[in-house]
Amino acid sequence: MNENLFASFIAPTILGLPAAVLIILFPPLLIPTSKYLINNRLVTTQQWLIKLTSKQMMTMHNTKGRTWSLMLVSLIIFIATTNLLGLLPHSFTPTTQLSMNLAMAIPLWAGAVIMGFRSKIKNALAHFLPQGTPTPLIPMLVIIETISLLIQPMALAVRLTANITAGHLLMHLIGSATLAMSTINLPSTLIIFTILILLTILEIAVALIQAYVFTLLVSLYLHDNT
C-alpha cells in the first residue's frame, strides 16, 4: 500500500542503462511465423486478422494511400502487442510514455501532411478556409484551422497515453484494495476481486481498441491528404 502509485510508469534500467529500447523491440519477437507450406491455426488466425484489419483501413484509400498499408498494419500490431504485454504483472508499458507516443504520431502525421501538400496543394490549402466564409472571419478561421492541424499529433499521443495510463492506475488501485481487504473482510474481498477480473477483461479490450483507434486516425489523416 505504501508503494508509489506511479512507480510502474518509470522507465526501467539495467545496470544504469535504459531498458526501454529492449522492451520496445521485444513484442515483434512474439509474432509467430511459419516456414511451412501449410500454416498452423495460430498463424492462419493471425493472417486472417491482419488481412481483415488491412482491408477495413485501406478500402477508402486510393493507390497512393495504399502504399502505407504495410506501415499501418505494422503500427497496429506493435501498439496492440505492447499494450497487452503491459498488462502482465511487474511489466512496463512503453505506450504510457507520452514521449514515445509523440515519436510515433508526429512522423506519421507529418508524412501524411507533407504528402498532401506535395500532391494536392490546392485541396490541402482549402482545408484552412471553408467555402463561403465571410470575409471578416477569414483570418480567425485560418488561425483556428492551423491550430487544429498542428494539434492532431498531440491529440493522437495524449489519447493513447491517457487511456492506457488510466486503466493501469485503476487496476493498481483496485488490486491494492483487494490485498488490503483480504485480511479484514472476505466477502468484500471477493466482490472487489470480481471487479478486478472484469476490469482486466475491459483493459484487454481497451488495449486492442486504442491500437485500432490510433492507427485508424493516422489512416484518416492520410486519406485527407491523398
Characterize 89-98 residue by residue with b for buried, 16 or more Cβ atoms within 10 angstroms of its Cβ, and e for exposed: eeebbbbbbb
Q: Give how far Cα 127 sits from Cα of 122, 143, 179, 184, Å.
A: 9, 12, 54, 61
| Whether 98 contacts 153, CB under 8 Å | no
CA 7 – CA 92 distance, rounded (Å): 10
Q: Which residues contact 95 (CB under 8 A, 6 or more apart)?
A: 79, 82, 83, 86, 101, 160, 161, 164, 210
Q: Using CA of residue 190, residue 192, residue 193, residue 198, what is the dihedral sign?
A: positive
Residue-wise pLDDT tens digits, 70-93: 888 888 888 888 888 888 877 778
Query: What DSSP designation does 90 have?
Result: T
Instruction: Specify the pLDDT at position 17.
Output: 65
* Spacing of C-alpha 211 from chain mean position: 4
| Whether 125 contacts 142, CB under 8 Å | no
* Spacing of C-alpha 81 from chain mean position: 10
Residues making up the chain, counted from first to last: 226
Residue-wise pLDDT tens digits, 139-180: 787 788 788 888 888 988 999 988 888 888 888 888 888 888
Characterize 153-185 residue by residue with b for buried, 16 or more Cβ atoms within 10 angstroms of its Cβ, and e for exposed: beebbebbbebbbebbeebeebbebbeebeeee
- pTM, entire model: 0.78
pLDDT per residue of the chain (226 residues) written in tens, 0 to 9: 445 666 666 666 666 666 667 777 777 777 767 677 777 777 788 788 888 888 877 787 788 778 888 888 888 888 888 888 888 877 778 888 888 889 889 999 888 888 888 877 777 777 777 677 777 777 787 788 788 888 888 988 999 988 888 888 888 888 888 888 877 878 888 888 888 889 889 989 998 899 889 988 888 888 877 7
- Give 14's strand partners: 17
Mean pLDDT estimate for the chain: 80
Cα torsion through 13, 15, 172, 30, rounded to 10: 70
User: How many helices and strands, by DSSP H and E, does the chain display?
Assistant: 8, 2
Exposed / middle / buried, residue 213 (Cβ in 10 Å: 0-12, 13-18, 19+) = middle
Q: Give how far Cα 189 sits from Cα of 6, 15, 201, Å.
A: 24, 39, 18
